[in-house]
Amino acid sequence: MHKKVLVIGSGPIIIGQAAEFDYSGTQACQALREAGCEVVLFNSNPATIMTDPGIADHTYIEAMTLEKAEWIIQTERPTHLLATVGGQTALNLALALDEAGVLGQYGINLLGTSLETIRDGEDRERFKQKMNELGEPLPISTTIESIDALDHFISETGVPLIVRPAFTLGGTGGGIAETVDAAYTLAKRGLEASPISQCLIEQSIAGYKEFEYEVMRDANGTCIIVCNMENIDPVGVHTGDSVVFAPAQTLSDAMHQTLRSASFRIVSALGVVGGCNIQFAVHPTEDAYYVIEVNPRVSRSSALASKATGYPIAKIATRLALGERLDDCINPVTNGTMASFEPALDYVTAKVPTFPFDLFNGTDRTLGPQMKATGESMAMGKTLEEALQKAWRGAGVEQRPLYPSWMATADAAALYAEISAPTDRRLLACLALLDRGIATASQLEAMTGIAPHFMTMFERLVTTIKMDLSTKGNLLQAKRFGFTDAQIAQQMNVTADAVAAMRIEHDITPVYQMIDTCAAEFESRTPYFYGTWHGTSEVVPGERPKVAIIGSGPIRIGQGIEFDYSSVHAVWALQKLGVETIMINNNPETVSTDFTVADKLYVEPLTIEDVVHVLEAEGCQDVLIQFGGQTGISLAHALETKGYHLLGATADVIDQMEDRDRFYQFLDEIGVAHIPGEEVRSVDDLTSAIHRLGYPCVVRPSYVIGGKGMYIIRTAADLHQIEPQLTYPLLVDAYVEGRELEVDCVTDGKTVYVPALLEQIEAAGVHSGDSTMILPPVKTSFAQQTKIEAIVQTIGQALAYKGALNIQFVLKGDIIYVLEINPRASRTVPIVSKVTGEPLIEWATLAAVGQELATIVPDVRPVWSGYAIKTPVFSSLKLPGVDPLTGPVMRSTGETLQFSMTPYVSERFCYDATTTRVMNRTEIVAGQGWSSYSDQALDETTEFQNVSVLFSNVPEEQTAREAAVRNGVHVISEIHLADYYQQAMQAEPMSVRSLQTMQTGEGLPL
Partner 1 sequence: MTGTVTLQSGQQFDGTWETSARFAKGEVVFFTGMTGYQEVLTDPSYAGQIVAFTYPLIGQYGLTEGASESADIQVAGVLVQTLAGNGAATDLKDWLEQSGVPVLSDVDTRSLVHALREHGDQWGMMTSDLDASFDGDLHQITETVSTPEYVRHGDGTNGHIVCLDFGVKTSMVQAMVERGYTVTVVPFDTTAAQVHELAPTGILVSNGPGDPRDLVDYLDNVREVALAYPTLGICMGHQLLALAFGCEIEKQTYGHRGSNHPVRNVQTGEVWMTSQNHGYVVTRDSLEATPLELLFENVNDLSVEGTLHRTVPILTAQFHPEASPGPKEAQAIFDRFDEMIQQGVNVYA
Enumerate binding residues for partner 1 (CB under 8 A).
220-224, 247-254, 256-257, 260-261, 264, 325-327, 336-338, 340-348, 382-384, 441, 452-453, 455-456, 513, 518-523, 534-536
Nearer to partner 1, 321 or 773 (CB): 321
As a whole number of angstroms, the distance between CA 927 and CA 937 comes to 6
In 418-572 the beta strands, taken as DSSP E runs, fall at: 511-514, 528-532, 546-550
Minimum gap (Å) between residue 346 Cβ and partner 1: 4
Beta pairing, strands 645-646 & 622-624? parallel
For residues 706, 709, 715 and 720, what is the CA-based torsion angle, rounded to 10 degrees?
170
E strand spans, 187-317: 199-203, 209-217, 223-231, 244-246, 274-282, 289-295
920 exposed, middle or buried (CB, 10 Å; 0-12, 13-18, 19+)? exposed
**Which of 128, 534 has the CB closer to partner 1?**
534
- Select 483 or 867, whichever has its Cβ closest to partner 1: 483
Give the dihedral sign, CA 450/452/454/459. Answer: positive
Q: Using the 8-state DSSP alphabet, how is residue 552 labeled?
A: -
Q: Which is nearer to partner 1, 524 or 942 (CB)?
A: 524
Residue nearer to partner 1 on the CB measure, 400 or 460: 460
β-bridge pairing 947-951 and 923-926: parallel
SS3 791: helix
Task: State in angstroms the smallest separation of the CB of 10 from partner 1.
Answer: 31
- Residue 112, by phi and psi: left (phi above 0), alpha (psi -120 to 50) or beta? left
348 or 775: whose CB is closer to partner 1? 348
Q: How far is the CB of 422 from partner 1 (least distance, A)?
A: 21
Nearer to partner 1, 520 or 815 (CB): 520
Closest approach, Cβ 304 to partner 1, in A, equals 16
Instruction: State in angstroms the smallest separation of the CB of 333 from partner 1.
Output: 13
**127 near 292, Cβ under 8 Å?**
no
Residue 966 is inside which H or E element, if any? helix 958-966
Minimum CB separation of residue 507 from partner 1 in Å reads 14
* Contact status, residue 201 vs residue 161, Cβ threshold 8 Å: yes
Which residue number, 409 or 536, has a Cβ lying nearer to partner 1?
Answer: 536
Inter-axis angle of helices 441-448 and 426-435, nearest 10: 160
Q: Which is nearer to partner 1, 188 or 256 (CB)?
A: 256
Residue with smaller CB distance to partner 1, 83 or 251: 251
- Indicate the Cα dihedral angle 291, 293, 295, 300, nearest 10°: -110
Residue 852 DSSP code: -
Q: For the chain, state the CA radius of gyration.
A: 27
Q: Distance between CA 830 and CA 55 in Å, rounded?
A: 14
What residues contact 98, with CB distance under 8 A and at least 6 apart? 104, 115
CB nearer to partner 1: pick between 220 and 996? 220
Cβ at position 381, least distance to partner 1 in Å: 9
Instruction: Provide the minimum distance between the beta carbon of 530 and partner 1 in the complex, in angstroms, as a whole number.
Output: 12
Q: Show Cβ contacts of residue 698 under 8 Å, excluding neighbours closer than 6 positions.
A: 710, 711, 712, 713, 732, 733, 734, 735, 765, 888
Q: Are strands 528-532 and 600-603 parallel, antiparallel or unpaired?
A: parallel
Output 5 or 387, the one with its CB closest to partner 1.
Answer: 387
CA 300 – CA 293 distance, rounded (Å): 14
CB of 456 to partner 1, least distance (A): 4
Least separation in angstroms between CB 929 and partner 1: 60
Output the smallest distance, CB 207 to partner 1, in A: 18
Query: Nearer Cβ to partner 1, position 384 or 675?
Result: 384
- Shortest Cβ distance from residue 277 to partner 1 (Å)? 19
Q: What are phi and psi of 320, to 5 degrees?
A: -65, -35
Measured CA to CA, the distance from residue 954 to residue 961 in angstroms comes to 10
Give the residue among 558, 576, 402, 430 at the shortest CA–CA distance from 491: 402
CB 271 within 8 A of CB 263: no
The distance in angstroms from the start CA to the end CA of the chain is 34
Taking the complex as a whole, the smallest distance from the CB of residue 325 to partner 1 amounts, in Å, to: 8
| Residue 931, burial from CB neighbour count under 10 angstroms (0-12, 13-18, 19+) | exposed
Name the residue among 887, 906, 911 with its Cα closest to residue 973.
887
Closest approach of Cβ 284 to partner 1, in Å? Answer: 12
> Taking the complex as a whole, how short is the minimal distance between the CB of residue 301 and partner 1, in angstroms?
18
* Residue placing its CB nearer to partner 1 in the complex, 32 or 441: 441
CB of 594 to partner 1, least distance (A): 23
Task: Choose between 216 and 549: whose C-beta lies nearer to partner 1.
Answer: 216
Shortest distance (Å) from residue 171 CB to partner 1: 29
Q: Is residue 46 within 8 Å of 831, Cβ to Cβ?
A: yes
- CB closer to partner 1, 342 vs 652: 342
Whichever of 281 and 441 has its CB closer to partner 1, that residue is 441
The residue among 227 and 758 lying less far from partner 1, judged by its C-beta, is: 227
Report the SS3 class of residue 219.
coil
CB 459 to partner 1: min, Å: 9
> Which amino acid is located at 988 in the chain?
E
395 exposed, middle or buried (CB, 10 Å; 0-12, 13-18, 19+)? buried
Do the Cβ atoms of 545 and 329 come closer than 8 Å? no
